[in-house]
Amino acid sequence: MAIAAAVAIVGCSKPAENRIWLPDGTPDVNAEIVVDTTLDLKHDGFMIKDTPDGRKVMAKTDIGAMYGTYALQRLERTGKADGELDIREEPSYERRILNHWDNLDNTVERGYAGWSIWHWGEPVPVELIKEYARLNASVGINGSVLNNVNATPEILRRDYLERVAEIADIMRPYGVRVYLSVNFSSPAQLGGLPDSDPLRPEVQEWWADKVAEIYGLIPDFGGFLVKANSEGLPGPQDFGRTHADGANMLADALKPFDGIVMWRAFVYSPKSSDRACQAYDEFAPLDGHFRDNVLIQIKNGPVDFQPREPFSPLFGHMPNTQMMAEFQITQEYLGFSNHLVYLIPLFKECLDSDTYCKGEGSTIADITTGKLYPDVYNTTAIAGVANIGRDENWCGHHFAQSSWYGFGRMAWDVTLTAEEIAQEWLEQTFTSDPDFVEPVLDMMMTSREAAVDYMMPLGFHHIFAWTHHYGPEPWCDIPGARADWLPKYYHKADAEGVGFDRTRAGSGNVDQYHEPLASLYNSIETCPEELLLWFHHVPWTHRMSSGRTLWDEICHRYDRGVKKVREYQAVWEQAKPYVDVERWEAVRAKLEIQESDAGWWRDACVQYFGEFSGMPVPADVEQPERPLEELKKIKLDMKHHN
């Protein structure tokens, strides 16, 4: 198992004898490690100081000392440990959690790096889980939801809970707590009750007993993640109850043990004709109705982890409720583990967004870290959907490791820039030689924008293939399927133009945002062009800031994305002297797939939308080589692409 590359901790030795309280694998650093319970530090924070007695890593807890040791190692490896150090760090979020979408049959939903690392039904892989926990600890991740949000009740069976307790025992020394996704119908399906109505005393008692059983096995169990009344999963609305009724019932059971409920706001409400409105419509009216150990877990955008979305308006409208952001580290809509797409710019784009909920400067980061509403937030949390599997490089693509690493670093310190994180990952994972770092860093930092260009520029969204979310399928039309699961629902292309009208004259989604954003988005003249087709149905001849028509701009954006990937191929060729043969060849092969896929996206979308615009592909854009009908027949080879 190639451990080192994911978080760049190659060659770590075991702790010296005077540091035996640190877990296996904690690096040796040039400092004295001090634990002082009287220090004024929060949430396993630490200090690194040069004193007259020498350099010291100081913390209030053993786990804080471990985090400080990894931080000093990072400084040493990136050449920043010289000179006098005076560092104090406390994490931005108290709970920094990976959501694994692993199933009990060892498959991983939307996972592109092989089978589940938990080895359900097999002997517990102690060393593998220990290395996983160590990697998380090195970047500050302190929680893991072990199973899929599309949970089965069986995870709460005694035999599975005993298995979870074994995993928790392995990860505990590294400060990583376990959480579980639960199925809301478990009292009926697993406990034999007539139903799972959250207001029935028998149901409440069943959950209280189950929670007590869990804590009897796992004293530091973190709590539950719940997906309810979404995509067919059961929930409180099945019994005429609200999301607050369901979340609060579980919260009451967990409260005596300091456990939390992370209740996902990913819903498909039949009440609104616009998917982008539905989470707001269901949850905003419930503001202030949730217990103080409930956090509403909200995807970064209002639809579904698209390459680009505006931020979810729900973040700006629940001032009396604890909220946490959910990001997708696994690249469900960004080329699986085949495309080089560094995701921290996407995550930061959301967290740095200004909601204007308390005037200018009301960022999502300031809301979710509790800074804006300190009296509301008893705990703070952030979640990332894991991209980890049994592949030798953990994530299926060597550069996909940077998004796991980056999520941890960003969750620890939300003020870090995406570029700072990328550079420290590159220098630790490959080399600090600027002839390598500078061009490859530029490749990473532009990769998300390139993917947007060759997949869905200018606010296009959810025009993926129905079955696999990998390639383009804007033409998809399946009789009997829900409209809002199909691409045509989102692009609405016709002879006049293209795009989803979410203005006040359309679905009204713009008014879920505070001013000045609502009016900014409502006007076709002031709406940011990156979101133009998200909020507007735009005429093909609309004049863009470039001077081109919308149609010509669409073609140029698709073509620009393809050409950018070709630039990456050239950059990687020049990087060959700095990278070992195995990793260099693996990345080269992935870039070849990415370039082919980018061309597939461009040629399919340009030709398909060209049928509506009736306008030719501009002469300065590479002309499609394969006809649209041929591209429509492509069947994805999942063995090749997964």
CA–CA gap between residue 198 and residue 296 (Å, rounded)? 18
Angle at 337 between CA 428 and CA 477, to 5 degrees: 150
238 exposure class (CB count in 10 Å sphere: 0-12, 13-18, 19+): middle
List of residues 6+ apart from 543 with CB closer than 8 A: 549
Would residue 304 show up in a list of annotated catalytic residues for this protein? yes
**Strand pairing partners for 312?**
none
Q: In the numeric block, which tokens belong to residue 607?
A: 């030709």
Side chain identity, residue 602? R
Identify the CA nearest to 101 among candidates 59, 170, 167, 155: 155
Identify the CA nearest to 418 among candidates 491, 345, 367: 345
Active-site entry in 122, 231, 392, 435? 231
Active-site entry in 274, 332, 424, 603? 332
CA–CA gap between residue 504 and residue 487 (Å, rounded)? 23
At 381, give phi and psi (nearest 5°). -155, 160
Side chain identity, residue 27? P
CB 224 within 8 A of CB 258: no
Identify the CA nearest to 595 among candidates 562, 571, 631: 562
At 42, give phi and psi (nearest 5°). -105, 150
Q: How many CB atoms lie within 10 A of CB 477?
A: 10
CA–CA gap between residue 636 and residue 641 (Å, rounded)? 8
CA–CA gap between residue 327 and residue 350 (Å, rounded)? 9
Instruction: Classify 255 as helix, strand or coil.
Output: helix
**Beta strand 143-145 pairing with 497-498:** unpaired
DSSP 496: S
Would residue 53 show up in a list of annotated catalytic residues for this protein? no
DSSP 238: G
Active-site entry in 24, 166, 287, 304? 304
List of residues 6+ apart from 352 with CB closer than 8 A: 363, 364, 365
**How far is CA 69 from each of CA 75, 89, 132, 138, 584, rounded to the nearest angstrom?**
10, 12, 18, 9, 30
CA–CA gap between residue 328 and residue 350 (Å, rounded)? 12
List of residues 6+ apart from 298 with CB closer than 8 A: 264, 265, 279, 312, 314, 315, 323, 324, 325, 326
Length of the chain: 642
Instruction: Classify 35 as helix, strand or coil.
Output: strand
**Strand pairing partners for 47?**
58, 88
CA–CA gap between residue 254 and residue 269 (Å, rounded)? 28
CA–CA gap between residue 404 and residue 407 (Å, rounded)? 5
Instruction: Classify 264 as helix, strand or coil.
Output: strand
Residues with a catalytic annotation lie at: 231, 304, 332
